[in-house]
Amino acid sequence: MTHRIVFALVVCGLSLGQASAQQPPAGQAAAPKAPPKGVKEPGKTLTDSEKIEKASDHVAKMKSAMKSVLKRVEDARGEKDVVKLNCVNEKLTQVKGLLKVAEVAEVQLSEAIARKDDSSDTELQKISMARAKVDQLRSEADQCIGQLAYVVDNETSVEVQQPDNLPSLDVTRTQVPTRPTVNPPVVRAPPASPWY
């Protein structure tokens, strides 16, 4: 589902950029079209082998980022901090989804290159966008670990103050006598209908 959204965003961005090109006035020859800003012309900047190499590099770095986020999950578990753990788990789930999108796009990139199809640029852009988002999520996961739900350290001390008007009884060291338990009598309701 996520890779379809990314693909739709990429396709919409490409089609919007192409639609904004102006038509030449009547009687004039059309000037060579330059690609919209931020959109590379297919096949002009990277060769097919460079595209595959770049895609595999992006996916490898995304896997490394996922390992880093997994380490943050283990750190949060070690601290037994539920808030941190929930925060980092949310980031991990998103990273896993984006990694899956990138891996599928990498396969589709290889297939597009084998077919000599122009969609290879779109697949590479999907992978690049997924990597940028994964890098952002990794830094957010680091921030999750930096957030403190509450501060507790080894030097924390607790002082108990007792109001003056109470009897001097140290409740931390003295056991309060227990009262004997009394079982109330059991009263049963009469049967709903008589037995015949």
Per the document, the length of the chain is 196
Q: What is the pLDDT of residue 16?
A: 42
- The domain ranges of the chain are 45-148
pLDDT tens for residues 60-104?
A: 999 999 999 999 899 888 888 888 889 999 999 999 999 999 999
Report how far residue 105's alpha carbon sits from residue 34's, in angstroms, rounded to the nearest whole number.
26
- The model scores a pTM over 0.85: no
Q: What is the pLDDT of residue 130?
A: 93
Residues of the chain with pLDDT under 50: 1-4, 6-25, 27, 30-43, 147-152
Q: What is the pLDDT of residue 91?
A: 92
Closest CA to 134 of 59, 54, 82, 186: 59
Report how far residue 24's alpha carbon sits from residue 30's, in angstroms, rounded to the nearest whole number.
6
Closest CA to 7 of 127, 87, 143, 166: 127
Q: What is the pLDDT of residue 162?
A: 66
Q: Which fold has domain 45-148?
A: Four Helix Bundle (Hemerythrin (Met), subunit A) (1.20.120)
> What stretches of 75-190 adopt beta strand conformation (E)?
none
Report how far residue 20's alpha carbon sits from residue 23's, in angstroms, rounded to the nearest whole number.
9
pLDDT tens for residues 20-30?
A: 444 444 545 54
